[in-house]
Amino acid sequence: MKPSPNLDMLTPALRARFDAMIAHYPVKRSALVPMLLYAQDELGYLTPEVISGIAARLELDELAVREVIGYYSMLRLHPAGRYHVQVCTNISCQLRGADRIWEHCRARLQLENHQTTPDGLFSLEEVECIGACSWAPALQVNYDFHQQLTPEKVDEILDGYRQKGASS
Ligand code: FES
């Protein structure tokens, strides 16, 4: 018999954190996005098993969970590089040169959309608005925002992460 979906792939500490979060909200579903983010942080991406486990824990349809994952660009279904570079090309950023920033990132990292460098250090993704419109053009690396970008500034940012990656 197939085992029912569970969250055994996560650490006991994270499972305990989930229990506390779920108890905190009047509606279990409210814990969905934070649970997905914490699970992704621990596993690197959202595996089919963890999606099933979270859906079961929150008594949701798996499809409803996948719809939420599809909506938020910070949630991913595939492994990413250690530094996941998300470049916004939505309207405010586009009006202020996002296309140039995107092309510069592609050339500099030698990656296309959704690809990862062979050393696993960087991955690249073109995304919709990341909420930094007032400081466009903007990109995000993991949880860090970088704004008012120029190609030169992008070089400094990527070099900084490369050095950080080499020294740790
Ligand atoms: S349009 Fe780029 S951050 Fe909003």
Cis omega (within 30 of 0) on the bond before 26? no
Check: CB of residue 167 under 8 Å from CB of residue 159. Answer: no
pTM of the model: 0.82
Does any ligand 1 atom lie closer than 6 A to the CB of residue 87? no
CA 90 – ligand 1 centroid, Å: 5
CA of 149 to the centre of ligand 1 (A): 12
Please indicate whether residue 91, judged by its CB atom, sits closer than 6 Å to ligand 1: yes
Q: Is 88 in the pocket of ligand 1 (CB under 6 A)?
A: yes
Instruction: For residue 87, give the 3-state DSSP assignment.
Output: strand
| Residue 22 · residue 56 · CB < 8 Å | no
pLDDT of residue 10: 97
Q: Which atom of ligand 1 is nearest to the CA of 130?
A: 3
- Confidence category of residue 75, pLDDT binned at 50, 70, 90: very high
pLDDT in tens, 129-148: 999 999 999 999 998 999 99
Tokens of 61: 């349809």
pLDDT (0 to 100) of residue 2? 73
Task: Write out pLDDT tens, residues 85-117.
Answer: 999 999 999 999 999 999 999 999 999 999 999
Q: Give the span between the Cα atoms of 59 and 99, in whole angstroms.
A: 42
Q: Which atom of ligand 1 is nearest to the CA of 135?
A: 3
Task: Give me the mean pLDDT over the 17-38 stretch.
Answer: 96
State the average pLDDT over residues 37-52. 95
- Ligand 1 pocket check for 132: Cβ under 6 Å: yes
pLDDT, tens digit, for every residue of 146-160? Answer: 999 999 999 999 999
Range 14-43 average pLDDT: 96
